[in-house]
Amino acid sequence: MPRTAAVGAAPTATSSSRPGPWRGVIAEYAGLLPVTDQTPRLTLLEGGTPLVESVRIGPGLLGRIRLLFKCEGQNPTGSFKDRGMVVAVAKAMEEGAQATICASTGNTSASAAAYSARAGIPCLVVIPHGHIALGKLAQAVRHGARVVCVDGNFDDGLRVVREIVRDHPIALLNSLNPYRMDGQKTAAFEVVDALGEAPTYHALPVGNAGNITAYWWGYCHYRELGLVGLPPRMLGFQAEGAAPLVRGQPVAQPETRATAIRIGNPARWQDAMRAIHESRGGVSTVSEEEIRNAYCRLAAEEGIFVEAASAASVAGVIRLAGRGFFGDGPVTVVCTLTGHGLKDPEYALEDGPSLEPVEPRAEAVLEHAGMSPHSTATPALAPCEPPAGGGC
């Protein structure tokens, strides 16, 4: 069984039901992807990520909610981008591309650089100056990409990249590339393969809007094949300061600490809204405080370390559940956690514990940690507050 079978899988008509080690997105789902015998079987063994059942956040929500997390941070470069990138770069190789390019807030650059390196193709990355998490920038640099900062935001960078590919024989690796979307659809396949059916709801953070679109297309693809009945209602969540889909107009200067969704004019805007409408879903905002709280709770209560943007999906579900949105009946809700927490260590440590040294004695260590039976000190590693308390 593939690694996705964390909660019990049902056999399907896809190659992913094949026993044995996971082989990567192209090999596992070749029959459902636009690949040919000439398409290189490029892989870093992406995909096959676990679908993990919530043990604390879900059971604490109002209603009869079975909450699961699709942990995409366990892909090779630490984000969901690898699914689409492997297909896009493999097709670029097949078509004889001499170089690749992308605009990025971070995760796309890391993935594009890694898969281009694997393919032996030069990669150019355009990033917004001062608005990329260091963990992601480090990946792109070490994978050998040529990194250029523009004096502007992501939308400015994407505009420049589109001009470049229009005039030069360089393969575009942003989600405008249809092969990216084909690869990202496989995450929806895996959810159904693991559950044996589609969830009632599927919640995602929304930045450039490609992922929520791809999941919907993936569920629809499985429905067309007769592998799933009713697809889920798609729920998208944007940060309050970067919410063009919710506002109904572009945001010229998007602002959020969740840098992966700091996008004011999503490339897949219309596709995402179509997915939300067709699925009878919805899109709404979450505050910086709600994102931070969900981020802390995922780590402290579920043992899952994610980047800030990932937590937007969970923050949104917590908000909706508190309003009784999911009703009284049993529902299954999947939240996609898009990237690993090590992508942005600065965000993780902004309110971290004091690391002042103590004497190397057992009693001193326990005293400082607030774990000594004689201690009156506040524990140095305080857990997150409950939902009403905000962040850590």
Burial category of 89 from C-beta neighbours within 10 Å (exposed 0-12, middle 13-18, buried 19 and up): buried
pLDDT of residue 7: 57
Tokens encoding 196: 């044996």
Number of other CB atoms surrounding residue 332 within 10 Å: 18
Q: Is the pLDDT of residue 392 over 50?
A: no
**Average pLDDT of 198-208?**
97
CA–CA gap between residue 392 and residue 390 (Å, rounded): 7
Counting Cα atoms < 13 Å in the Cβ hemisphere of 348 gives 16
Q: Is the pLDDT of residue 387 over 60?
A: no
Tokens encoding 149: 């900062």
pLDDT of residue 10: 34
CA–CA gap between residue 264 and residue 269 (Å, rounded): 10
CA–CA gap between residue 242 and residue 235 (Å, rounded): 16
pLDDT tens sequence across 322-381: 999 999 989 999 999 999 999 999 999 988 777 889 999 999 989 888 887 775 555 544
The phi, psi pair for 54, rounded to 5°, reads -70, 135
Tell me the average pLDDT of the chain: 90
Number of other CB atoms surrounding residue 91 within 10 Å: 25
Q: Name the band, by pLDDT with cuts 50, 70 and 90, for residue 4.
A: very low
pLDDT of residue 133: 81
SS3 assignment for 235-269: EEEEECCCCHHHHCCCCCCCCCCCHHHCCCCCCCH
Looking at the chain, the whole-number percentage of residues with pLDDT higher than 90 is 78
This prediction's pTM: 0.89
pLDDT of residue 18: 62
Spatial CB neighbours of 12, under 8 Å, sequence gap ≥ 6: 192, 193, 227
Number of other CB atoms surrounding residue 167 within 10 Å: 7
pLDDT tens sequence across 48-104: 999 999 999 999 999 999 999 999 999 999 999 999 999 999 999 999 999 999 998
pLDDT of residue 131: 73
CA–CA gap between residue 222 and residue 185 (Å, rounded): 10
pLDDT of residue 385: 52
